[in-house]
Amino acid sequence: MPPTAEFTPLLAPFSPWEPGALPLVVFGAIVLVVMAVILFLSGFLVRRRPTPSKQQPYECGIRPTGPARFRYPVPFFLMAVFFLLFDVETAYIISYAVAWPELGLPGYLRLAVFVIVLGLGLVYAWRKGGLDWDEEEGL
């Protein structure tokens, strides 16, 4: 609120945005302590009573067949990798767009190189069959 003739605050309003290392350190320390307390309590208060049945994996009440570590087709992994790739690209492009007035044409060209290289990578992966996976056998 801007000071007016009728009302003038005695103190300047406190701003949490003011630079200063101490509040950050205090804040960080509090976070660490709280996290440590929570982790300790949830580890300490829990009642662990392991029995052979309890240690088994839950599979609808039946003893599982075969090991859990086996060759598993990875289409979801691929999907996740592609997603990450383009997600990172989006993050770059948006932060670049915000800085457009300062960067100007040189910035535009540099980013274009980045996008083209990524695009080439995509074309390469696509042509190698990276997008048509066999969902039963993986790649």
Partner 1 sequence: MTGFGEGLFNPTDAVINWARKNSLWPFFFGLSCCFVEEATAWGPRYDIARFGSEVFRGSPRQADVLIVSGTMFQKIAPVALRLYEQMSDPKWVISMGSCSNSGGMYDVYSVVQGSDQILPIDVYIPGCPPRPEAVFEGLMLLQKKIAAGEKPTRPVLHLPGGSQGGREDFLVDGATKCRDTRGPGYAGIPIRGTAATEPRFAGSRAEVMWTPPVPGLVLTAGQETLAADLAAVFGDDARLTDTVPTPGDMPTYVVAPARLPEVLAYLKEKAPTRFERLEDLTALDETARRVPAGHEATVVYTLTSMSAATMVRLTCPLPSRDSSLPTATGVWSCANWYEREAAEMFGLRFDGHPDPRRLLTHRDWIGHPLRKDYEGRATSRPAFTRADCERLEPVDAAEILGRRAAAGDYLLNFGPHHYATHGIIRYVLAMRGERVKAMGIDIGYHHRGVEKIGERQTWHQFIPYTDRVDYLSGIANNLSYVTAVEQLAGIAVPPRAAYARVMLSELFRLSNHLMYFGTFLQDLGMMSPIFYALREREMVLDIIETITGGRLHPAWLRLGGLAADLPEGWKEQVDAFVKIFPGRLKEYHAGVTRNPIVRARTKGVGGISGATAIDWGITGPNLRAAGVAWDRRKAMPYGAYADFDFDVPTREHGDCYDRYLVRMDEMAQSLRIIEQAAARMPGGRYLSDDARYCLPQKDATLRDIESLIHHFVNVTRGPRLPAGMAYAATEAPRGEQGYCVVSDGGCHAYRMRIRTPGFANVQALPLMIEGLSIADCVAVLASYDYILPDIDR
For partner 1, the binding residues (CB under 8 A) are 44-45, 47, 49, 51, 53-54, 56, 58-66, 70-73, 75, 135-138
Nearest approach in angstroms of CB 129 to partner 1 is 17
CA atoms within 13 A on the CB side of 77: 7
Nearer to partner 1, 87 or 132 (CB): 132
CA distance 92 to 98: 10
Toward partner 1, which CB reaches closer, 18 or 135?
A: 135
CA separation for the pair 41, 98 (Å, rounded) = 44
What does the DSSP assignment read for 5-21?
Answer: SS---SSPPP-TTS--H
Task: Indicate the residue among 54 and 127 with the shorter CB distance to partner 1.
Answer: 54
**CA 111 – CA 119 distance, rounded (Å):** 12
Q: What's the min distance (Å) between Cβ of 45 and partner 1? A: 5
Partners of residue 134 on adjacent β-strands: 138
In the bound complex, what is the minimum distance in angstroms from residue 131's beta carbon to partner 1?
A: 16
Nearer to partner 1, 6 or 136 (CB): 136
